Every structure is written in structure tokens, then in C-alpha cells.
Chain A
């Protein structure tokens, strides 16, 4: 029923790769940040929290624009990498990952922060009086208790990356096979009045996202049920 072109397939592949990589990296990097936000009494917390939430309110094009300046050959980061011989990050897959991570940051930090603040305080004190070192408590108490937070963070980040458009257009350009993701390919089809092509990619995104969400929520529910019995 679907007749996908090689370009469609590569756009889908890049989309999935981008979503998986940026989600995994985000969870790894955001866990310590979320822990700090959940437990720190520092005054800097307010500022960091605001910074983390900034991608929620800024138009993706604004972020994409500044990121392009920063990561491009003349930007601070891009220029430095250029000097090292690595090459700048504008219009590259790595640039896309960075943009995507920034874009999904609040969607990962906030669920983790909530989970950590619930799994902190008293439970940690109990673990300590039961002879668990801080690291031991984190692995055996905090992580299991915040599993739902991790799942929520992962799902939100993944889904959010799938649908990203404006920022990717800015930072990644629209290079088929390298930085062209499904959402941009769909836009191209619509621009070219090829509604059949747009339908194909769009329906695949709808179905796969829906299936993914069902699987995750079902797993999560099952885990909850076994916990009670």
C-alpha cells in the first residue's frame, strides 16, 4: 500500500536515529541536572530552572537561528571545532542532535526532576539508616522509584524529536540523505503539491508514534500492576 522512495526511507531513518540518539543522550545528561534541581537549595536553582524551561516558550526558529550562528563556521563553537580540524556543526547530523536535545530539554528534565523530588528526602534517610551508601541508595531506591519519570521523559523526548521542524530546518538545512528528516520531507511534498507523498510519510509517523505510545503505556501499566500484587 505504501510505495516509499529511497529518499523517504532515508528521511525516516534519519528521523528515528535522531530521536533515539538525542533521547538517550538527554536522559544521561539530564539525570544529574534534574537531581541537582530536585535537591539543591542553591539560589542559582531558579535561574537554571528558567533556562531549562526556555525552549518551551521560544519559537524553534529563534533557537535554531542562534544555534546556527553558534555552531556555524564563524560561531564560537563551530569556529573552535573548525580550528581543531573537526569541522563546524551547521548542516550536519551532529548539529541536528544538539538542536534536538536543546529543543527537548524541558521535556526530559521536568519529569525527572519531579520523580527525583518524590524519591528523595525521607526515602533516602531511611535507606541511609538501613546502611545504604548514597550511591547504593541512588541505584537501588531512587532509580526504581523514578522509573516512571524516566519512561515519561523518554517518551516525551522521543515524540517531540519526531515532530521537530523549525529548528531542524534552521540548523540542519534540508539536505536529503544527511539532514532531511521526515517532517521536512513532508513539507517538501506539500510544497510540490505531491499530497500522495505527504500522506504516505505522515500516516507512517502517525501509526508508528501511536503504536510506540501504546506499547510504552501498556508496559508501564503492567509494571505498576505487578508492583501491587
Chain B
């Protein structure tokens, strides 16, 4: 826990009152509706919110305390704004050099070429921001931020103003970034999809206050939080992908808590594939280290509505994925015909939304061993 903050802002129409301790690794997502204060909180951390009253300590550095406030340009952070904010009078190369040149050589932790390659910006360097698509601009903005060798990366809904094509253009880069750079990220979004794909730690904000915070899976399956009561209720399982585990019939084998899951080989993100099996050559990904046989961690999103429960292992069925789990508890759903079942899979938690009639018919009760059949898996 190495980002400690305590902020208060009083405005006529808005109040922020947040005390938090955030982990110094992985992606922490600030999640909430618009107006919940997530962007304001992010700006407080960056030092862009002048009216903020409070304390902020990053690792051993004090960034804000009483009347002291470390100026933004002296904080070792990178910031990606919602709408890509590049300097219109500079081309991509000079935009990227802007922050790079302002960091002393001894303090640089990244190579210029490395960032250009990582984000696939090689062909864009001579263009001006007005000649880039939204997704490209956001990639350049990310590059600019990374080139300041930040110790903390702040991202304010970097994909909110992008269409779905541009999102698809940048999301893989964010995921890769997470794996490749040991850089703590604080990421603001209101998109569940981005949460499940990127978050390790989740902070739920409501009306300027922290409603709850914790590791992703714990938050997604917390019965007191609104995540489980939406039609989109889902859980994210931590699985391992073995590099040698691609079968002859084009399936990939994952293991989760010692049990097997199969997914289509095509669905695996390219950066997870062993080098010789990459489906498409992609220069900026080519240097990705091949995964060891211990298995590379991979995230699997399972929607509650895609889980079917059975009390005995089904035999004659086309579904491939069947996990042995234990019923933790059964709750009423917003939809009166449905129930939400929390299932323990080793140390992990899954959700299943099934009809109340099925609960009665199968006689489901806590601590019972059941079989969870998974109809659909989204890979992250």
C-alpha cells in the first residue's frame, strides 16, 4: 500500500471526500457513474485540482500536505487525458520528445525506441496530430506519458471518446503495457468492459465518496455492491495458459485452480501466444517473451447468465467446459424469477444466475458440490 491519499473538495454542486490507500502495482480502476468524482480524484492525485484540500503520499514522497503542494511538473507521473491532448503545433516525434527531453538522462527508465515500438508508432512519427485517428492520437498520448519515465501512470477514461474500432486499436496496447511494464496505473472508467479487462484493484465511487474498494474478483462478487445485480453480472477468473497447450483441433487449454478450461485458439490475445504459433506476424509484438511452461496468467471473464449448474457431471452434452465448484450462498435477484448463486472455485469466486424454480428442483443449498457448465467465456 503505497499511495495514501485523503482529499476533500467543497463546491456548490459537488463534494469530494475520499480517503484511500492504493496498491503500488497493477491497475487500480476508479469506477463510478458520471459525477461520482472519479476524474476529480484522479486530477487531485496529479495535482491539477487547485482547490483540493488534503494529503497525498506516494511511496516515500509527500506530494501534498497542509499548505504544501508539489507542483504537477515535479511529480514523477504520467497522465493520459480523456480526449487525446497532443500539442497541435508539433508532430508526433516532437510531441513525444517533449516530455522525454525534460527528464534527466539518469532518471530515464525507458528507451525512446522501446516505447515507439511497443505502441507501434514508428510510421506515425512525422505526422501532425490533426492527421491521426482518435485511437492513434490516444496511443501517441500514452507514448508521451510513458516517455517521462513515470513512477505512476494516471489515465482518465482514455477510451471514452473513441469509437469501437479505435478502442480495439488501443485496448490490446493497454493490456500489453500492464504485462510489460512494472508500472502502477490508476485508471478512470465507467465501462464494465474495461474494468473486467484491465482492473486488478477496483475502487467504487459514489457521490464523491468511496463506496467500496478491493481486489477485482472480490468486488465483482460482493453481494453488497451493485455489480452483481445488473444483467451484466460477471466474474473474472485468474487462469493459466500453457504455451504447449494448443490442441490439434485448435483449442487452447487453460487451467484454473487445477481444473481445465478449453477455449478457441483464435480467441487468445496474440501476445499470449507462443512465438511460433502467432496467428499473424505483428512487428510491435514480436519481441514478446514466449510464455514459459509454468503457464502465463490469463484473465477469463464469465458472465453469471452464461453459467449452468448441474448436480451430477453431465455426459452427453456438447459443452466443453465444466468446473467442479461449491455453492457458497444463494440470493434473490432483481428479477423475481431468478436467483444469483455464488460459487467457490478453489480460492476464486464465480457467479451463476439461474431460475428460482431450478434452485428448488435441484435442491441447491450452501456447501453443496455442483458442476458449473460455462456456455461462454470472454478472454481478457
- A interface with B by C-beta (< 8 Å): 122-123, 125-134, 136, 140-141, 144-145, 227-228
Residues on A with beta carbons closer than 8 Å to the beta carbon of B89: 144-145, 227
The answer to whether A128 and B88 have CB atoms under 8 Å apart is no
The answer to whether A131 and B73 have CB atoms under 8 Å apart is yes
Residues on B with beta carbons closer than 8 Å to the beta carbon of A144: 89
Binary contact readout B118-138 vs A (1 if CB under 8 angstroms, 0 otherwise) = 000000000010110000000
A145 smallest CB distance to B (angstroms): 6
For B73, B78, B102, B103, the residue with the greatest tally of chain A CB atoms inside 10 Å of its CB is B73
7 pairs of A and B residues whose beta carbons are closest in the complex: A130-B99, A129-B79, A131-B102, A128-B72, A126-B85, A128-B73, A144-B89
Residue B7 CB within 8 A of the other chain: no
The answer to whether B85 and A122 have CB atoms under 8 Å apart is yes
Q: Which of B71, B128, B148 contacts A130 (CB 8 A)?
A: B148
Residues on A with beta carbons closer than 8 Å to the beta carbon of B88: 145, 227
The answer to whether A123 and B85 have CB atoms under 8 Å apart is yes
Secondary structure call for the A interface:
helix
Binary contact readout B292-306 vs A (1 if CB under 8 angstroms, 0 otherwise) = 000000000000000
Residue B344 CB within 8 A of the other chain: no
A224 smallest CB distance to B (angstroms): 10
Residues on A with beta carbons closer than 8 Å to the beta carbon of B103: 131
Residues on B with beta carbons closer than 8 Å to the beta carbon of A123: 85, 87
The answer to whether B87 and A133 have CB atoms under 8 Å apart is no
Number of B interface residues at 8 Å Cβ cutoff, please give it.
25
Residue B112 CB within 8 A of the other chain: no
Bound complex: CA A227 to CA B79 (Å): 26
The answer to whether A128 and B71 have CB atoms under 8 Å apart is yes
B140 smallest CB distance to A (angstroms): 12
What number of residue pairs across chains A and B have CB atoms under 8 A from each other? 64
The answer to whether B102 and A129 have CB atoms under 8 Å apart is no
Q: Which of B65-99 contact A (CB under 8 A)?
A: 71-74, 77-79, 81, 85-89, 98-99
Residue B144 CB within 8 A of the other chain: yes
Bound complex: CA A63 to CA B284 (Å): 67
The answer to whether A130 and B98 have CB atoms under 8 Å apart is yes
Residue B309 CB within 8 A of the other chain: no
Residue B374 CB within 8 A of the other chain: no
Bound complex: CA A101 to CA B332 (Å): 77
B149 smallest CB distance to A (angstroms): 10
The answer to whether A128 and B48 have CB atoms under 8 Å apart is yes
Residues on B with beta carbons closer than 8 Å to the beta carbon of A140: 98
Query: Given A126-B81, A130-B145, 18 other A-B contacts at CB below 8 A?
Result: A126-B85, A127-B87, A129-B72, A129-B77, A129-B78, A129-B99, A129-B145, A130-B102, A130-B144, A131-B103, A132-B98, A132-B102, A133-B73, A134-B73, A136-B73, A136-B102, A227-B128, A228-B130
The answer to whether B71 and A122 have CB atoms under 8 Å apart is no
CB-nearest residue of chain A relative to B91?
A227
Residue B233 CB within 8 A of the other chain: no
CB-nearest residue of chain A relative to B89?
A144
Residue B46 CB within 8 A of the other chain: yes
Residues on B with beta carbons closer than 8 Å to the beta carbon of A130: 73, 98-99, 102, 144-145, 148
Q: Which of B245-279 contact A (CB under 8 A)?
A: none
B308 smallest CB distance to A (angstroms): 48
Residues on B with beta carbons closer than 8 Å to the beta carbon of A132: 73, 98, 102
B253 smallest CB distance to A (angstroms): 43
B289 smallest CB distance to A (angstroms): 30
Bound complex: CA A140 to CA B102 (Å): 12
Residues on A with beta carbons closer than 8 Å to the beta carbon of B73: 127-134, 136
CB-nearest residue of chain A relative to B75?
A129
Bound complex: CA A126 to CA B81 (Å): 8
Bound complex: CA A127 to CA B89 (Å): 13
CB-nearest residue of chain A relative to B84?
A126
For B46, B72, B78, B103, the residue with the greatest tally of chain A CB atoms inside 10 Å of its CB is B72
Bound complex: CA A156 to CA B113 (Å): 46
Bound complex: CA A227 to CA B88 (Å): 9
Bound complex: CA A36 to CA B73 (Å): 22
Contact flag A228-B128 (CB < 8 Å), given A126-B81, A129-B72, A133-B71? yes
B185 smallest CB distance to A (angstroms): 14
Residues on A with beta carbons closer than 8 Å to the beta carbon of B74: 131
Q: Which of B78, B81, B145 contacts A122 (CB 8 A)?
A: B81
The answer to whether A129 and B46 have CB atoms under 8 Å apart is yes
- Listed A/B pairs (30) with beta-carbon separation below 8 Å: A122-B85, A123-B87, A125-B72, A125-B79, A126-B79, A127-B73, A127-B87, A128-B48, A128-B72, A129-B72, A129-B77, A129-B78, A129-B148, A130-B73, A130-B99, A130-B144, A131-B74, A131-B102, A131-B103, A132-B73, A132-B98, A132-B102, A134-B73, A136-B73, A136-B102, A144-B89, A145-B88, A227-B89, A227-B128, A228-B130
Bound complex: CA A129 to CA B145 (Å): 8
CB-nearest residue of chain A relative to B87?
A141
Bound complex: CA A144 to CA B78 (Å): 24
The answer to whether A131 and B71 have CB atoms under 8 Å apart is no
CB-nearest residue of chain A relative to B72?
A128
CB-nearest residue of chain A relative to B85?
A126
The answer to whether A125 and B99 have CB atoms under 8 Å apart is no
Bound complex: CA A122 to CA B43 (Å): 12
Bound complex: CA A129 to CA B85 (Å): 11
B155 smallest CB distance to A (angstroms): 11
Bound complex: CA A130 to CA B74 (Å): 9
A40 smallest CB distance to B (angstroms): 14
